[in-house]
Structure 1
Amino acid sequence: MVLKVAVIGCGSIAKNRHLPEYSQNSEAVITAVCDIVEDRAKETAETYQADYYMDYKKMLKEADIDAVSVCLPNYLHAPVSIDALNAGVHVLCEKPMATSTEEADRMIEAAEKNDRKLMIGHNQRFVPSHQKARELIASGALGKVYSFRTTFGHGGPEGWSADGTDSWFFKKDEAFIGAMGDLGVHKADLIRYILQDEFTEVGAFVETSAKEKADVDDNAALILKSKKGIIGTLAASWAYTSAEDNSTVIYGEKGILRLEDDPVSSLIAQYANGETVRYELGAIQSNDEGGQTTSHVIDHFVSAVQNDTAPLIDGKEGRQSLEIILGALESVETKRIYALEK
């Protein structure tokens, strides 16, 4: 049975990822869209031959839908997702999933209570180089992993967001957190996935120096320690003005893995015995023209619902990654290393 979906929020992430990827999936059909800006909702509906709404609660009551994508400002992720789950529809929610662990717990509880799927849109797990690195580490090819550095930075969301420099991304009451929540949470999720390890401690510095209108962080640097004793750094920035950096480097006993750190080879394995293996696995998705055409998130979500399987990034996984970012905020506030929940 074809999955009937709605998209709540018709901004850039919906326009460039969710809507076209649902449209390209033969197992899904877009039946409704919702946005508080009527022209945006109407135009989107016309493009995809769907019904449009300006009130998502009205849409949940009236529209014939099985699932929704929640593509809204961060502070709305949890309440809208919970309402949708309680209405009996499956939810794919953009990251970060919530603004607190309490909100995340309520989302997870709503999904379980209503027997619905809840997936968080951490697309970096689907990047081929990241999946290959996870496989190599799990196989023992790198030996004991010692440390890592992972980075996600670009020139800022004003070049991506539908509202440009007036975007909600820069407003604390709507975004709750800046580059660390926009980009850093992706890398927090990714490094957990690649290492198959959880983090126990985090320390952080944040700064607002590049975006004059922002009242959230535009540069963040974290240091992390895992249960296995792996230490590393995570950087998130809206101040990489000339080029995007989406790289990760893993340092191990038997070699080094360089992910998305070379324009040609998406993964380079440099071994201590002198051997170098270059993998050309396809480009990582990007906001720039010529970026990967699909994030694979939508296809995975549709498949999970259709086949009644657990999504790769369910609510509990999303919560674990969110907790790292929340812990970083606590570290900034207290100027101390913050111990994460066990």
Structure 2
Amino acid sequence: MNDLKVGVIGIGNMGSLHVLHLNTGRINGAKVTAVCDGSKERLEWVKNHTTGTIKLFQDEEAFFNEADIDAVIIATPHYTHPETAVNAFSKNMHVLVEKPAGVYTKNVLEMNQAAKESGKVFSIVYNQRTNPLYQKVRSLIQSGELGEIKRTNWIITDWYRSQSYYDSSEWRATWKGEGGGVLLNQAPHQLDLWQWTTGIMPKRIQAFCSIGKYHNIEVEDEVTAYAEYENGATGVFITSTGEAPGTNRFEIAGDRGKIVVENEELTFYRLTQSEREFNASYKGDFGQPECWKINIPITGENLGHIGIIQNWTDAILHSTPLIAPGEEGIKALEIANAIYLSSWLNKKVELPIDAALYYEKLQGKINHSILR
């Protein structure tokens, strides 16, 4: 079978990386044959940093109609992900979309429906799902080793960004340009892993977003969210771009112990007996279940972006199951939208959220954005 002909639309930081991966033979069975970007300078970069024949387009419609590609990687600004994907599906193309799936769930639902109707392979660049560390966490939970989940807690504050970072581009950290701050730009991977490893979505969320607490920006740079789950479990998610040094610590407590992920290490505090069973049967005063501290070895390579692109290619060519189905992109976005909406309304919100209400509130933010 001939190599899959892939186009890349959006040649920013991530798009240029995808072009290089495809052009240097790091993806088996696929090659980049066309790119699209509105900037002549970015197209010139492609010309100067790649080999072979790659068609260059500034116009999106010309790209989709004339590029002669089988599949497309979308690395355009956040707001355009769904509409660009819908366009690609209408042209009978397979799609790999960068995170986040979009900015609001209303049009991401439309993207997912278009993907379903097209029958094409649809994936999202949740590259942290290729990390053996989080794959092991998911395996321990899904296998029942941890028992029923009681609590989750993720502190992810090692996203430090200086004011100069935000000042480097006028679209950064604006409601009109990005659609949000740390939740939409830095933390989507953790929001995805939060639900992917545990296998559960929050039922309701109460959240607090601090706008420009540490930076001169119009969006949030610190978030604290409290989640409640259907089974009575609770969770806390804390993230910031204003802490140095930051922390990355993920805890999941269950009926059979506790999992802690920190410093790229996985520790399982495993109970020899279910806490609920111990609680019901123990007759002493201050006893507790016996606990073994187990340092779980992590083997395998974290393939990152290459792993996701390769998996998407293999799914197209060989029907390999997807690591990150594109339709699942809405889950992390649903959590992010719920966090924003709770903060804006100053109350708990139920999931799934009122997508129309969120869209209305977001439009108000966009209308007052400093980016015109």
Structure 2 Cα separation of the partners of residues 33 and 86 of structure 1? 18
Q: Output the amino acid matched with 1:142.
A: L
> For the residues of structure 2 that align with 1:109 and 1:158, how far apart are their CA atoms?
39
Equivalent residue, structure 2, for 1:237: 240
Q: Percent identity?
A: 24
Which residue pairs with 1:266 in the alignment?
A: 265
8 Å contact kept, 1:203–1:332: yes
For residues 306 and 182 of structure 2, what CA distance do their matches in structure 1 show? 20
Contact 2:270 2:293 in 1 (8 A): yes
Structure 2 distance, partners of 1:101, 1:311, is 22
Q: Is the 8 A contact 2:311 2:320 kept in 1?
A: no
Among candidates 323, 327, 338, match of residue 327 of structure 1: 338
2:44 aligns with 42
After superposition, where does 1:1-342 map in structure 2 within 5 Å?
Answer: 1=1, 2-16=3-17, 18-22=18-22, 23=24, 24-49=26-51, 50-153=54-157, 154-156=159-161, 165-166=168-169, 168-207=171-210, 208-212=212-216, 214-243=217-246, 245-259=247-261, 261-262=262-263, 266-272=265-271, 273-281=290-298, 294=305, 296-309=307-320, 311-341=322-352
Deviations 1:151-174 (A, max 9, x none): 333123888x8x962253312112
Larger Rg: 2
> Secondary structure in 2 aligned to 1:29?
strand
Task: Kindly report structure 1 stretches of 4+ aligned residues shifted beyond 4 Å.
Answer: 282-285, 292-295
- Tell me, in whole angstroms, the C-alpha distance in 1 between the residues paired with 2:313 and 2:45: 24
Aligned-pair RMSD on alpha carbons? 2.5
Q: Separation in 2 of the partners of 1:229 and 1:124? A: 28
Unaligned runs of at least 5 residues, structure 2:
272-289, 354-372
Relative to structure 2, which stretch is displaced further, 175-184 or 246-255? 246-255
Structure 2 letter corresponding to 1:277: I
State how far apart, in whole Å, the 2-side matches of 1:52 and 1:164 are. Answer: 30
Alignment size in residue pairs: 328
Partner of 2:276: none
Contact preservation (8 Å) 2:28, 2:310? no
1:98 aligned counterpart, secondary structure: coil
Question: Cα 1:96–1:293, aligned 2, differ >3 Å: closer, same or farther?
Answer: closer
- Residue 74 of structure 1 and its aligned partner are, at CA, apart by 0.8
Q: For residues 78-135 of structure 1, what are the alpha-carbon distances to aligned partners after superposition, in whole Å with 9 as ceiling and x for unaligned? A: 1111111111111111122122222012111221222222212222222111111111
Structure 2 counterpart of 1:289: none
**Structure 2 SS opposite 1:171:** coil
Partners of 1:86 and 1:114 within 8 A in 2: yes
Matched residue type, 1:252: G
Q: Distance in 2 between matches of 1:12 and 1:271?
A: 42
Conserved in 2, the CA contact under 8 Å of 1:104 and 1:315? Answer: no
Q: Structure 1 CA distance, aligned partners of 2:162 and 2:94?
A: 28
Is residue 101–residue 329 contact of structure 2 (8 Å, CA) maintained in 1?
A: yes
Aligned partners of 2:329 and 2:296: how far apart in 1? 29
Q: CA, structure 1 residues 197+73, in 2 after alignment: closer, same or farther (shift >3 Å)?
A: same
Shift of 1:281: 2.4
Contact 1:3 1:302 in 2 (8 A): yes
Distance 2:224 2:14 in 1: 25
Supply the distance in 1 between the matched residues of 2:71 and 2:48 (Cα, whole angstroms).
20
What is the TM-score of this pair, normalised by structure 1? 0.87
Structure 2 distance, partners of 1:63, 1:270, is 54
Q: Residues of 1 paired with 2:185 and 2:170: CA distance?
A: 13
- Contact kept, 8 Å, 1:199 with 1:227, in 2: the verdict is yes
Q: Which deviates more from structure 2 when the two are superposed, residues 222-231 or residues 149-158?
A: 149-158
